[in-house]
Structure 1
Amino acid sequence: MFPIYKKELQSFFYTPFAYAMAALFMLLFTLPLASAISHLENSNTLPFSFTEMFYSVILYFIFLLPILTMRTFADERKNGTEVLLMTSPVSVAKIVIAKFLANLTVYLFMLVCTLFFPLITAIKGEVVVSQLICAYIGIFCWGAMYIALGMLISSFTENSIIAAIIGEVVMFILLFVDNFANSGFISQFPKLQSVLYSFAAQPRFAYFSEGFIRLSDLVFFGSAVIVLLAWTYISIEKRRWNRG
């Protein structure tokens, strides 16, 4: 499993891809902060919270994470290397886990790059460390779930661009499941509303962004990752058997 994990990381870090993603990631963090500073009036003090920053930029991540995961399996099929991968002594389950961990490592690298902002803020102002830690845990869990979803979508096609577009559409829809569940029409059906709301990740992330860690939220994100990776395994294994 480790050789596949290492190969995936090399495909990211031996090219400008990971660094371009990290730069774009940091740009997304810079925009709300720069906007807040530009609106300062008659004061040298900026009321600012990193939890608010995480919550405000989460929509932009919807367009970023599918780009990270789009090549996971789609490029293997397109380049004809999927056959070599499937005939290797490594099981399909280990291949899926190795690719997931590689994507998660790149995502973690991008998060580490954003530590620049709280460090500068701590020098010039004050940082509530407990809320900052909760926000990072929340954005990590949220990202892990959407990375697993992006990998599942990538396993369905050999075109990485299509995988990215479908991923963005699906993730965008899931982002607003809670709003749809709270709509006037759905609220007429309490049971359906409860079912839809149970799949909403946004309210769970909101608790992290406010500085709270709930076991139920950790279980939700962990279970979602496991289920999505299991579906990815089934998708790859089914295609493996179809090849004979």
Structure 2
Amino acid sequence: MFPIYKKELQSFFYTPFAYAIAALFLLLFALPIANMISDLGKNSSVSANVMPFSFTEMFYSVILYFIFLLPILTMRTFADERKNGTEVLLMTSPVSVAKIVIAKFLANVTVYLFMIAGTLIFPIITAIKGEVVMSQLICAYIGIFCWGLMYIALGMLISALTENSILAAIIGEVVMFILLFIDDFANSGFMSQFPKAQSVIYAFAAQPRFAYFSEGFIRLSDLTFFASAIIVLLVWTYIAIEKRRWNRG
């Protein structure tokens, strides 16, 4: 399993891919912070030396950017294996399909951690110049980590089901965008006419669960939701790849 994990990391870090996507994420991450500071600076009621700053609002803004970046991160996971003709070698290797899926998942998670690690500079600077509510910040990072892992698993599943990496990215963008606003649809006036269906749809919404993390709360039910979603998506990915393996004979 480790050789596959190492190979995947090399495909990210031995090319500009991981660095480019991390740089783009840091740029997008900095934009809401700059906008917040700019808006606070225009507020005459705010002291010239002290400005209230909330990482909660920042993390809410960042989620939308992840919708565009995570499918780009995961689109090559399995689709490129078929495009480059290396899928046959992968499927005939002595490594089990389960270990292949886990290795690729861990490689994507490692790149994701690399992206998140770069953002730590912002709370560090904020802590030096002001005050940071550490409990809220830690919970927000745990929440965005769990949220990202779930969408990485989803992106891998989509990549396993498609033949083209670009197509995998486009489908991933659409699916993740729909899931991001599924709670708004559940709370709409139309769905309020169907309370049972509304409760079922709302149960699959990740956004409200992330909201608790960003506000400084960690609930066992939310951790269970993300863990269950990740496991289910990885199992589906395993089934999709195993089916292709058997179809090849």
| TM bracket (short chain) | over 0.9
1:146 deviates by 0.1
User: Does structure 2 retain, via aligned residues, the 8 Å contact 1:76–1:158?
Assistant: no
For the residues of structure 2 that align with 1:38 and 1:10, how far apart are their CA atoms?
A: 40
Residue type of the partner of 2:5? Y
User: Does structure 1 retain, via aligned residues, the 8 Å contact 2:25–2:65?
Assistant: no
For the residues of structure 1 that align with 2:122 and 2:25, how far apart are their CA atoms?
A: 12
User: Does structure 2 retain, via aligned residues, the 8 Å contact 1:72–1:154?
Assistant: yes
1:27 deviates by 1.0
User: Does structure 1 retain, via aligned residues, the 8 Å contact 2:108–2:152?
Assistant: yes
Q: Indicate the SS of the match to 1:9.
A: helix
1:46 deviates by 2.3
Q: Residue 6 of structure 1 corresponds to which residue in structure 2?
A: 6
For the residues of structure 2 that align with 1:52 and 1:37, how far apart are their CA atoms?
A: 12
User: Does structure 1 retain, via aligned residues, the 8 Å contact 2:159–2:165?
Assistant: yes
TM-score by length of 1: 0.98
The equivalent position to 1:146 in structure 2, one of 138, 146, 151, is 151
For the residues of structure 2 that align with 1:46 and 1:66, how far apart are their CA atoms?
A: 36
Residue type of the partner of 1:219? T
TM-score by length of 2: 0.96
Say if 2:210 is the partner of 1:205: yes
- Which structure 2 residues correspond to residues 219-230 of structure 1 after superposition, within 5 A? 219-230=224-235
**Count of matched residue positions in the alignment of Structure 1 and Structure 2:** 244
Q: After TM superposition, where is structure 1 displaced by more than 4 Å over at least 4 residues in a row?
A: none
Say if 2:105 is the partner of 1:100: yes
Q: Residue 27 of structure 1 corresponds to which residue in structure 2?
A: 27
1:28 deviates by 1.5
Q: Residue 141 of structure 2 corresponds to which residue in structure 1?
A: 136
Residue type of the partner of 1:35? N
What do residues 148-173 of structure 1 show as CA deviations (whole Å, max 9, x unaligned)? Answer: 00000000112100000000000000
RMSD of equivalent CA atoms: 0.8
Q: Residue 89 of structure 2 corresponds to which residue in structure 1?
A: 84
Residue type of the partner of 2:95? V
Q: Indicate the SS of the match to 1:195.
A: helix
For the residues of structure 1 that align with 2:28 and 2:220, how far apart are their CA atoms?
A: 29
What do residues 105-144 of structure 1 show as CA deviations (whole Å, max 9, x unaligned)? Answer: 1001111110000111111111111111000000000000
For the residues of structure 2 that align with 1:37 and 1:140, how far apart are their CA atoms?
A: 25
Say if 2:173 is the partner of 1:168: yes
1:36 deviates by 1.6
User: Does structure 2 retain, via aligned residues, the 8 Å contact 1:70–1:150?
Assistant: yes
Residue type of the partner of 2:6? K
Structure 2: gaps spanning 5 or more residues: none
The equivalent position to 1:155 in structure 2, one of 152, 160, 176, is 160
Residue type of the partner of 2:230? V
Q: Indicate the SS of the match to 2:95.
A: coil
For the residues of structure 2 that align with 1:46 and 1:154, how far apart are their CA atoms?
A: 44
Q: Residue 37 of structure 1 corresponds to which residue in structure 2?
A: 37
For the residues of structure 2 that align with 1:60 and 1:179, how far apart are their CA atoms?
A: 18
1:56 deviates by 1.6
Say if 2:69 is the partner of 1:49: no
For the residues of structure 2 that align with 1:46 and 1:203, how far apart are their CA atoms?
A: 28
The equivalent position to 1:238 in structure 2, one of 233, 236, 243, is 243
For the residues of structure 1 that align with 2:162 and 2:82, how far apart are their CA atoms?
A: 8
For the residues of structure 2 that align with 1:229 and 1:133, how far apart are their CA atoms?
A: 26
Q: Residue 194 of structure 2 corresponds to which residue in structure 1?
A: 189
What do residues 85-105 of structure 1 show as CA deviations (whole Å, max 9, x unaligned)? Answer: 000000000000000000001
Give % identity: 86
Q: Indicate the SS of the match to 2:161.
A: coil
1:51 deviates by 1.9
For the residues of structure 2 that align with 1:231 and 1:142, how far apart are their CA atoms?
A: 18
